[in-house]
Structure 1
Amino acid sequence: MFARFVDRPVLAGVISVLITLIGAVAGLTLPIAQFPEIAPPIINIQATYPGASAQQAYEAIAIPLEQEINGAQNLLYINSTSNTDGSVSMDATFEVGSDLDAAAAEVLTRANRAEAKLPPSVNAQGLEITKSSRQRLGNIVLYAEDGAPYDELFLANWAETQVIKPLRRVQGMGRIVNFSNKRYAMRIWLDPLKMEALGISPGAVTTAITQQNAQITTGTLGKPPVDQATAFELQLVTQGRLRQPEEFGNILLRANPDGSVVRIRDVARVELGSEQYGVRSSFDGAPSATLGLYQNPDANAVQVMDGARATMVDLAKRFPPGLKYKIALDRTEFVKEAIFEVVRTLFEALVLVVIVTYLFLQNWRATLIPAIAVPVALIGTFGPMALLGFSFNTLSLLGMVLAVGLVVDDAIIVVENTERLMDEGMAPPEASREAVTEVAGPVIATTLVLAALFVPVAFIPGLTGKLYNQFALTIAISVMISAVVSLTLTPALCGLILKHRETDAKDESRWRAPLRRFNAGLEGASRRLVAAIGWLTGHIALVAIVFVLFAAVTVWMTMQRPSGFVPDEDQGYFFADVVLPKGASVARTDRMVDRVGEALREIPSVEHTIGVTGRSILADAIAPFYGFQIPTLKPWGERDQSVTDVIATVQKHFKHDPDGQIRVVNPSPLPGLGSRSGLTLELQDRSGTGGLKLAEAAQRFIAEMEKLPSVGRAIPTTSYGVPQMRLEIDRAKAEQLGVPLQNLFDALGTYVGSSFVNLFNRFGYVYQVYVQSEASGRRTIEDVEALTVLNNRGEPVRVGSLIQTHFVTGPTAVLSYNTYPTIEIAVDTAANASSGTAIAAIEALADSKLPSTYAVEWTDVAYQEKIAGGYAPLIFGLGTLMIFLLLAGQYESLRLPFVILLGTPIAIFGAVGFLAIRGLALDIFGQVGLLLLVGLAAKNSILLVAFAEDLRKQGEDVLKAAQDAARLRMRPILMTSFAFIMGSVPLAIASGAGANARVSMGTVVIGGLLVATFITLFVTPTFYVAFERLLGKPAASQEHESAAPQPAE
């Protein structure tokens, strides 16, 4: 059937041109991404309880919301953080591939049911529910040039009003976090002494503001129905919400009998200030407004960030003089660089494959044919990729790199067979027809085997399926297109291009001497291979015993090899979390954060630093003794140090710092799954033992964990040892003195904690009004004791007479995971240990050491790794089964597929052995490589077995058929295998952005195929003979032999 294309080269060319054109057009539409859409969808809920402690915010907000949201459809886990400023952030994480709109609607419905249980002040501010992702896009900073009169408050609010709004409209943009968090607010700073002197209570102030700063509607004069028509309708307007500090200062508190009045300005200072003052942002040490950009889970990071860049360019045209911006961190630069590195690897692989092809074919005409066929197959792959919704990402492009060595195989097989027949005297067109007829069966069989191998991958759910899917299907598509090209275009080109070799003086030239020696070596190896097969078939029992031992060693090595999920990468930035002693002030933390930033900027590889005081990026918590720096590194080509080297330098510099602890970590290698690399463990209190006992249990468990060989360090991201002052209220004395408890609570909450009253409008925005004491009333506990509260008779009573105080400790933040109070523990594995080993060891430790009142769960990357580990055996098992069934159907035999698949343990042995030599873990990229090796090992065995079967049908003895198949197929097997191996070398020696994933996969496929190629040349023919003698049918009759075409020797 395919021989006709030798006589119709134009048709063959048209087919390939159409394949190339469709692929090229589709390739222009494919988006660029680091990975497929693997980030689990997240619905984020934000709420604030002004003046509340972390524990109070947890009990008042987090618990009611969690009780309602828990159990939502497709919910993986729910976690919340309740901070010391009364804010609560809650993430409901759903399964990968869940409908984000449906998830958001369900969370909203459930949150609405919880509103009745929330405090009035929380409901007054509302719940903020957004579709979100932890997939950080980057950071934009606004800063003032030297001499420009812009402070951090102005910068933060310019960002809020002029920058964030248009950025939110960028397609695919998720939440935008203003790390400065200094939104304008009307601040009413009460003077406690004046309040006491004038007999004004804090409640009177908040009541007056509520009544006099209100949105008022007054109606319309003459609006129908009226009994007498009017000429005009006049809208009545009056001042409702106030706008200026002076207007709030004029709010009337009391009118005295003598005609005098008391206004807010008489007892307070009013200013346009900030909602909070506990967080500060800087860029390279100068005040700034820092925005953290996050994408929606279903958005393309590169497209979103490109849209953000274009938006900022347009916005900057309207910035006031001296106001500048910079995209200080763009995570998509790593994505683009990593994709560029993979594309470069693709071209390097193509060049190396062509070189290997020439080495074996030793004919530039013959080499040209695969060099034409490979780009057609690769470019043609883009068409189906576009139909399937794929992108140019690390996995799909890695699939194409490996496909270079696969797609060239089919063309090489056709060309090599054609040349062999031409050497036997056939003309090129005749040889092309005969060659494609002979190899069409094996080519189709190997193509179907590789396609069948990856079919089960398409049905694997969740993140594991997403990671395998695009890689596997890209290879399957490219191999199928390659088969079409090899059976249509390749024979046509063979008939047109190939010529008989000339054996003149040119052939004896010096430059061909190495090639002659190479050929002589192959011929000698072929003879020794034939002899070895004869010896091995005579000692089949010994071969079987050795093979069984070999397979057992392979299983043992695989089980002993440390496992992992995704290797860490040099993404061009890292995190330096700053933690001061518990209870340290914001000012003290600010100095430490600045000092860390100065040290970081002295490192030659560091380009910029983004600093934030009052917030932990690792714990995602707010506290005065937290801070962090995000150092961004110079481009990969402009620095000698990797991110690992820089982190080691920083850790050494701050290892024994007396002022605080610096936690330096690499970001998560999987975007959208946590903020840091390493493992994240949740130690849960399942029985309500209390925060202090949970903290004590965590410390004991951490001490035991750090004794494990696989654990480097374990750090709790929150603590319960923060100094606090507990107020014990003497309720009997309050009753005796006529002080309503509510008055006392209002006074403490307003003076010390601040009270949110209502809203005002300004700059086209709605802002909040807060009432709080001047600093003189809340610096020390003595200031608080000196405050007064009015009794029922309007007389002032000292707060100190109603309370007793003593020191206690409490949490930095209250964390919850799956509705249980938790302490989150960041775990770094030991230098030579894998994450899979650490997970297993920690779980075993928890089972043996933790009381039954506590439990551990994994989250983020570790959670996904646990799930992925369960699917790996299923994927390999189903893939191997699909190959077996396909071959059984094709050959109408159960023994031949078994013989063909005996090369699998050999390939796995080589792969795991090379990983061990290089000290690498068997991560998910290595597992994908192992899956591919199953097909590659089967492909070589198919070429041997299929040819031997053809010879058997022609009447040859089983041993002679096996030996002839090995002798005739050795050269193409070595050629195709070494073409694939050389095409994978750039992966195994990769460096730069995204190198670790390429190194892992390249090591596996090179090691596995290298070992499998050499050993299967001996093992497959030997077992073929053994099984045929034991279970097979005798050779065909002599009549059939005489009628069958004879293979050339």
Structure 2
Amino acid sequence: MLAIQRQPGTNTVQVADAVKTMVASLSGQLPASVEVNTLYDRSVSIHQSVNDVQLTLLITLCLVVMVIFLFLKNLSATLIPSLALPFSIIGTFTVMYLMSYSLDNLSLMALTLSVGFVVDDAIVMLENIVRHLEMGKRPMQAALDGAREIGFTILSMTLSLTAVFIPVLLLGGIIGRLFHEFAVTIGVAILVSGFVSLTLTPMLCSRFLRPPKEEHHGRWYEATERVYQRGLGLYERSLAWVMDRRPLALVFSAGILAATAVLFVLVPKGFIPTEDTGQIQGTTETLEGSSFDNMSDHQQAVAEILSHDPNVGHFMSSVGGGTMNQGRLSIRLKPRNQRLPADEVVRELNPKLNSVPGIRTYLQVPASIRVGGRPTKTQYQFTLQSADIDALYDNAAKLERALRGLPTLQDVTTDLQIKNPQVSLRIDRDRATSLGVTVQQIEQALYDAYGSRQVSTIYTPNNQYWVILELLPEYQRDPTALQLLYLRSQTGKLIPLTSVASASNDVGPLSVNHSGQLPSVTLSFNLPPGVSLGAAVNEVQKVARQTLPSTISTGFSGTAQAFQASQQGLAFLLLLAIVVIYIVLGILYESFVHPLTILSGLPFAGFGALLTLFIFRTELSVYAFVGVIMLVGLVKKNAIMMIDFALDAERNEGKSPRDAIIQACSVRFRPIMMTTMAALMGTLPIAIGWGAGGESRRPLGLAVVGGLAFSQLITLYVTPVVYTYLDTLQHRFGRRARRASVEEPAAAD
């Protein structure tokens, strides 16, 4: 078997294609009896995943354009915001090319997500210009007035949404490297769309939109318009009812905030979802001290079962090359449409393979991203360290027995192998010296007999062969054969080995593992169906505290360690994203209060995202957490559109805060619904999880869809309530400040 691995920084698909081309060119030079088969090709699953993401991107484009048409009911008006899509994507591709980014799963997913967001600014611009057209203005004047009126709103929406991804760029570790290109891609797409909405969209509106009096509408237009007007009337009546009961709305908001905290505890936590790449890795293990022949026989029995499984396409089975009592399996499954999902295949194969007596088989679906750790038989690792080897080994065995009893773990195993049968040889140095035999001679004789000493090389015209010196296999397996070994003393006599050394049967370790220069034992485990990594980590830590003494240090390694680090880093990232948006909004509005009103919808977004994950029994993984962070930038769009209009009505029309915000909600209802539906349709295909790699994308889509659907509905009512309360609070503090400034000069006089 020949294993080929790409160098860091190179493209997997390009390397795989080059290898295939090279193999094809060499196949003509191989003998006819030699057949070359590919056991595992990572580029195949990458091709499938990229193709499926491209299909998802196309479906998303169609859904978003359909939403725009349903609301605007006009082909030319639909094309205007739709043009923001290709311009944004082309501009993003340009930046990706300049930064030497590759078109991978994450960058394509970022483009897919951005499809639902990049049209938002163009929709808001178009809708406002159409509103001015309905006032009787000419297209050119309507475009100028509408763009001037809504320009600051679009600028606020664009900059605040882009600011969400600034903390992602500063994030270190595996998560930072993973999502760096994702953040840049979606951030650039949003910035380009904002620029297009402020420049190209008004120009197209001035050229291609016609005044309502010049348009002739059919029955379908009138029917859909009646539906919209009824919806608007229902919203206005329900909003008036809520505004008359503002304290009840605050109580409801507090309840949602408390429920969000409860859901955060209840939702299972995970790291990176496992992808079905059509590959399964396995490790087999027999009793300590098993011979190579015994291990080979058991391995062949396991291979026989695999060869008859209908889900298995090809597999590789090997023993040796490492620990003598362990073997390896590399299983390549059939295409997706001809087999069960990889996780189900593992659950189906486990009882079959473990029915073979004398051998234990551990199967696992390889992680999509490998994160450090030592090679182990199962996926997640927990390492114990201590300078006291005896205490370490005793307590490791106790902890292993305790972990085997946990229902949240399965396939608990260890790398501790200290019961390997061995023959201990004790040299009588005084007697050996008296007989003229040195310790070095004894060691050389044992190595000649049981080692693999190369004593010569035979050269032929086409090859060379090593000559290995060792005992025949039947003598190697028999400890009494030591009596047949003789040593030549300095006087030339042959001295029996048993006359200068005594042999005794014993057990000992196959190896002594170290971590950080200290002896260590690594326990590893898999997760049963329905159990999250977060729950398993908590259970392991709890049992370890109850079982182990303080002299033994513990810690997770590999994927489990990266999971722990990600939980702390992502929580800080979410907080930092909120702070960054607050600062950006504070600069734009020159106020400390209005950003609070805009961000008041965040708890509802978090509640919707967590509730959706809980209902669909999906873990709060890294992808889902990134979706929650994206929601921080998305949910404030409704509030920005409302507050900008309300502030303008207060300043220019002299309306009260209550009347201004109610009018803003009514006028902005159409663009709010359009942008919300466009964002939902843009994320829905990802939430469904179509195609290869859909398992990893689905949590992000579910979080965004759930958070948007719930928060965008509730903020239509809660944001006006918060706006009026904070406005009252601001005026109250303003009066106190003015009163204090008047009293100070009076006191001085």
- TM bracket (short chain): over 0.9
* Aligned counterparts of 1:423 and 1:387: Cα–Cα separation in 2: 44
What residue in structure 1 maps to residue 277 of structure 2? 571
Among 103, 107, 125, the alignment partner of 1:392 is 103
Structure number with larger C-alpha Rg: 1
Question: Could you state the TM-score of these two structures normalised by the residue count of structure 1?
Answer: 0.67
The change in CA–CA distance for 1:916 and 1:776 in structure 2 (over 3 A counts) is: closer
* Aligned counterparts of 1:913 and 1:851: Cα–Cα separation in 2: 40
The change in CA–CA distance for 1:424 and 1:763 in structure 2 (over 3 A counts) is: farther
Q: Percent identity?
A: 29
Q: Indicate the larger mover: 513-522 or 325-334.
A: 513-522
* Aligned counterparts of 2:429 and 2:380: Cα–Cα separation in 1: 45
Aligned to 2:15, what secondary structure does the other structure show? helix
Q: Counterpart amino acid of 2:452?
A: S
Is residue 224 of structure 2 the alignment partner of residue 515 of structure 1?
Answer: yes
What residue in structure 2 maps to residue 12 of structure 1? none
What residue in structure 2 maps to residue 594 of structure 1? 300
Among 893, 897, 904, the alignment partner of 2:602 is 904
Structure 1 unaligned segments of length 5 or more: list them.
1-289, 616-621, 1036-1049
What residue in structure 2 maps to residue 421 of structure 1? 132
Structure 2 unaligned segments of length 5 or more: list them.
735-749
* Aligned counterparts of 1:646 and 1:823: Cα–Cα separation in 2: 30
Question: Retained in 1: the 8 A contact 2:363–2:378?
Answer: no
Q: Give 1:413 deviation, angstroms.
A: 0.9
Question: Retained in 2: the 8 A contact 1:907–1:1009?
Answer: yes
The change in CA–CA distance for 1:423 and 1:602 in structure 2 (over 3 A counts) is: farther
Question: Retained in 1: the 8 A contact 2:283–2:377?
Answer: no
Among 144, 149, 159, the alignment partner of 1:433 is 144
Q: How does 1:700-711 map to 2 (within 5 A)?
A: 700-708=398-406, 710-711=408-409
| CA-based RMSD | 2.5
What residue in structure 1 maps to residue 309 of structure 2? 603
Among 515, 518, 525, the alignment partner of 2:234 is 525
Q: Give 1:681 deviation, angstroms.
A: 2.5
Is residue 728 of structure 2 the alignment partner of residue 1019 of structure 1?
Answer: no
The change in CA–CA distance for 1:424 and 1:291 in structure 2 (over 3 A counts) is: same
Question: Retained in 2: the 8 A contact 1:593–1:629?
Answer: no
Q: Give 1:360 deviation, angstroms.
A: 1.4
Question: Retained in 1: the 8 A contact 2:282–2:377?
Answer: no
Q: Deviations over 1:10-44 (max 9, x none)?
A: xxxxxxxxxxxxxxxxxxxxxxxxxxxxxxxxxxx
Question: Retained in 2: the 8 A contact 1:353–1:983?
Answer: yes
Q: Give 1:603 deviation, angstroms.
A: 2.4
* Aligned counterparts of 1:931 and 1:661: Cα–Cα separation in 2: 43
* Aligned counterparts of 2:221 and 2:376: Cα–Cα separation in 1: 56
Q: Deviations over 1:605-631 (max 9, x none)?
A: 22111111225xxxxxx1332212211
Question: Could you state the TM-score of these two structures normalised by the residue count of structure 2?
Answer: 0.92
Q: Counterpart amino acid of 1:701?
A: L
What residue in structure 2 maps to residue 771 of structure 1? 469
Among 363, 371, 375, the alignment partner of 2:82 is 371
What residue in structure 1 maps to residue 256 of structure 2? 550
Question: Retained in 2: the 8 A contact 1:679–1:828?
Answer: yes
The change in CA–CA distance for 1:665 and 1:683 in structure 2 (over 3 A counts) is: same
What residue in structure 2 maps to residue 634 of structure 1? 334
Q: Give 1:464 deviation, angstroms.
A: 1.9
Among 416, 419, 422, the alignment partner of 1:724 is 422
Q: Counterpart amino acid of 2:279?
A: Y
Among 991, 996, 1000, the alignment partner of 2:690 is 991
Question: Retained in 2: the 8 A contact 1:576–1:664?
Answer: yes
* Aligned counterparts of 1:939 and 1:445: Cα–Cα separation in 2: 9
Q: Counterpart amino acid of 1:624?
A: M
Aligned to 2:410, what secondary structure does the other structure show? strand
What residue in structure 2 maps to residue 968 of structure 1? 667
Aligned to 2:666, what secondary structure does the other structure show? helix
Q: Give 1:798 deviation, angstroms.
A: 1.9
The change in CA–CA distance for 1:505 and 1:945 in structure 2 (over 3 A counts) is: closer
Among 527, 530, 546, the alignment partner of 1:832 is 530
What residue in structure 2 maps to residue 797 of structure 1? 495
* Aligned counterparts of 1:855 and 1:549: Cα–Cα separation in 2: 42
Q: Give 1:491 deviation, angstroms.
A: 1.5
Q: Give 1:961 deviation, angstroms.
A: 0.5
Q: Deviations over 1:487-529 (max 9, x none)?
A: 1111122222223457998612xx4575245323322233224
Q: Counterpart amino acid of 1:977?
A: T
Q: Counterpart amino acid of 1:881?
A: V
Aligned to 2:350, what secondary structure does the other structure show? helix
Q: Counterpart amino acid of 1:804?
A: S
Q: Indicate the larger mover: 444-453 or 757-766.
A: 757-766
Q: How many residues align?
A: 732
Q: Counterpart amino acid of 1:305?
A: A
Is residue 704 of structure 2 the alignment partner of residue 1005 of structure 1?
Answer: yes
Q: Deviations over 1:788-841 (max 9, x none)?
A: 111222111222333333322223433221112222222223432321232233
Q: Give 1:402 deviation, angstroms.
A: 0.9
Aligned to 1:323, what secondary structure does the other structure show? coil
Question: Retained in 2: the 8 A contact 1:404–1:983?
Answer: yes
What residue in structure 2 maps to residue 653 of structure 1? 352
* Aligned counterparts of 2:412 and 2:644: Cα–Cα separation in 1: 56
Aligned to 2:5, what secondary structure does the other structure show? strand
Q: Give 1:768 deviation, angstroms.
A: 6.4
* Aligned counterparts of 2:416 and 2:20: Cα–Cα separation in 1: 36
Structure with more of its chain in strand, by fraction: 1
What residue in structure 2 maps to residue 534 of structure 1? 243
Q: Give 1:770 deviation, angstroms.
A: 4.3
Aligned to 1:624, what secondary structure does the other structure show? coil
Q: Give 1:737 deviation, angstroms.
A: 3.1
The change in CA–CA distance for 1:763 and 1:553 in structure 2 (over 3 A counts) is: farther
What residue in structure 1 maps to residue 365 of structure 2? 666
* Aligned counterparts of 2:313 and 2:571: Cα–Cα separation in 1: 45
The change in CA–CA distance for 1:426 and 1:601 in structure 2 (over 3 A counts) is: farther
Q: How does 1:399-418 map to 2 (within 5 A)?
A: 399-418=110-129
The change in CA–CA distance for 1:679 and 1:663 in structure 2 (over 3 A counts) is: closer
The change in CA–CA distance for 1:632 and 1:514 in structure 2 (over 3 A counts) is: farther
Question: Retained in 1: the 8 A contact 2:578–2:632?
Answer: yes
Among 197, 209, 213, the alignment partner of 1:498 is 209
* Aligned counterparts of 2:217 and 2:638: Cα–Cα separation in 1: 35
Q: Counterpart amino acid of 2:670?
A: R
What residue in structure 1 maps to residue 565 of structure 2? 867
Q: Indicate the larger mover: 433-442 or 755-764.
A: 755-764
The change in CA–CA distance for 1:437 and 1:725 in structure 2 (over 3 A counts) is: same
* Aligned counterparts of 2:378 and 2:57: Cα–Cα separation in 1: 30
Question: Retained in 1: the 8 A contact 2:385–2:515?
Answer: no
What residue in structure 1 maps to residue 9 of structure 2? 298
Among 379, 384, 388, the alignment partner of 1:688 is 388
Q: Give 1:778 deviation, angstroms.
A: 2.4
Q: Give 1:927 deviation, angstroms.
A: 0.8
* Aligned counterparts of 1:776 and 1:626: Cα–Cα separation in 2: 22
Q: Counterpart amino acid of 1:523?
A: L
* Aligned counterparts of 1:314 and 1:841: Cα–Cα separation in 2: 54
The change in CA–CA distance for 1:806 and 1:677 in structure 2 (over 3 A counts) is: closer
Q: Deviations over 1:699-753 (max 9, x none)?
A: 2112222344543342114422222222223334323433222211110111112
The change in CA–CA distance for 1:548 and 1:530 in structure 2 (over 3 A counts) is: closer
Q: How does 1:177-216 map to 2 (within 5 A)?
A: none
* Aligned counterparts of 2:454 and 2:596: Cα–Cα separation in 1: 75
The change in CA–CA distance for 1:678 and 1:1024 in structure 2 (over 3 A counts) is: farther
Q: Give 1:452 deviation, angstroms.
A: 1.5
Q: Give 1:877 deviation, angstroms.
A: 1.5
* Aligned counterparts of 1:670 and 1:639: Cα–Cα separation in 2: 26
The change in CA–CA distance for 1:670 and 1:676 in structure 2 (over 3 A counts) is: farther
Q: Give 1:574 deviation, angstroms.
A: 0.2
The change in CA–CA distance for 1:820 and 1:769 in structure 2 (over 3 A counts) is: farther
Question: Retained in 2: the 8 A contact 1:533–1:1021?
Answer: no
Q: Give 1:844 deviation, angstroms.
A: 3.4
The change in CA–CA distance for 1:707 and 1:761 in structure 2 (over 3 A counts) is: same
Q: Deviations over 1:884-933 (max 9, x none)?
A: 11111111110000111111111001000100001111110011101100
